[in-house]
Amino acid sequence: MEKKRSSSAGFYILLLLFTGIGGLIIHGYNGEKRYYSGGDLVEKELVLDEALSYKSSSRTESGFYSLHARGYACRFRIEKGAFDLVQNSGTNAWLRVDSLSAGDTLRVKFGRSDEKKLRDARAHIPLVQVETGGEVLLSAAELQQYNSKERRFHVRVAFGLVILAALVWAFRYYGRRLDRAGGGSTQSKI
């Protein structure tokens, strides 16, 4: 009887663990698909903190600036007015524009270029920056806030699933104890 009880408790502990871990994995996967629905790029607006103007160290070709994701496999599409992005492979992209002013808004579209290297691009999007001779001119604080909200939401869902599994276990456990207590009292009366 004692062995059966311990094996039952072990089963419910495993159930709690798998429910929590499964909740994180499944909900994280759904969140990623929602963020990249149908493989489309997601558009976010970023405002320049400072003026972005011509610097020879930042220019790879006439009128181009470098934009990168610090080694992660993200790709970018930038639009401003009549200008558009000329994209290359890997994590770099080039913005065809001669000058941008502080307060200008860039519409930045994010997507995954290599699913094996990058399971969830959302965690890495805040690392986006424009590099011009070592200076960081483009802030992604808004995206960082968005990503932290997404992560907190996933954790809450996972904890919710763990609590639900714990409640199911508690109801079943105490239900059995009440049944046993009821059965014992009936037998003693007889």
Tens digit of pLDDT for each residue in 82-115? 333 333 333 333 343 444 444 444 544 444 343 3
Would you state the pLDDT for residue 159? Answer: 74
Would you state the pLDDT for residue 108? Answer: 47
The Cα angle at residue 48 between residues 118 and 46, in degrees rounded to 5: 45
Q: Where are the domains of the chain?
A: 40-138
Pairing of strands 92-96, 83-87: antiparallel
Amino acid letter for position 188: S
Give CA separation, 3 vs 10, 77, 150, in Å: 11, 61, 43
The residues of the chain scoring below 50 in pLDDT are 27-105, 107-147, 186, 188-190
Could you tell me the two tokens for 114?
């290599």
Would you state the pLDDT for residue 171? Answer: 79
Measured on CA atoms in the order 173, 178, 180, 181, is the torsion positive or negative?
A: positive
Give yes or no for a contact between 9 and 75, defined as CB atoms under 8 angstroms apart. Answer: no
Would you state the pLDDT for residue 11? Answer: 66
- pTM for this structure? 0.28
